[in-house]
Amino acid sequence: MELEPEVRDWPEQLPTERFATAAFYIDLLAEQGPLLSEPYSRQLDGKLRELRFHLDRQSGSRTGSPAAGGSCC
């Protein structure tokens, strides 16, 4: 899976519990790629997708597109 630098660095700034939650959903997207549908992922434009999840009571989303190998984010 290919990540943009700001997406790759963002989880590392989270407290441990929130990092674990974000990592779970990032791994889910890595496993299912473009087959991951709502409510977890939403297609924005072409191959551009948004990963959607909650951290505690706050919504979180990260945007990405499939890498050359077909992975996303």
pLDDT at 34: 83
The whole-angstrom separation of Cα 49 and Cα 13 is: 22
- The answer to whether residues 8 and 67 touch, using CB atoms and an 8 Å cutoff, is no
Which one is predicted more confidently, 15 or 49?
15
Helix (H, G, I), strand (E, B) or coil at 5: helix
Which one is predicted more confidently, 20 or 54?
20
User: Which residues 6+ apart lie within 8 Å of 47 measured at CB?
Assistant: 34, 65, 66, 72
| CA dist 46 → 9, 19, 36 (Å) | 25, 29, 15
- Is residue 50 over pLDDT 50? yes
| Segment 18-47, tens digit of pLDDT | 889 888 988 898 888 888 889 988 888 877
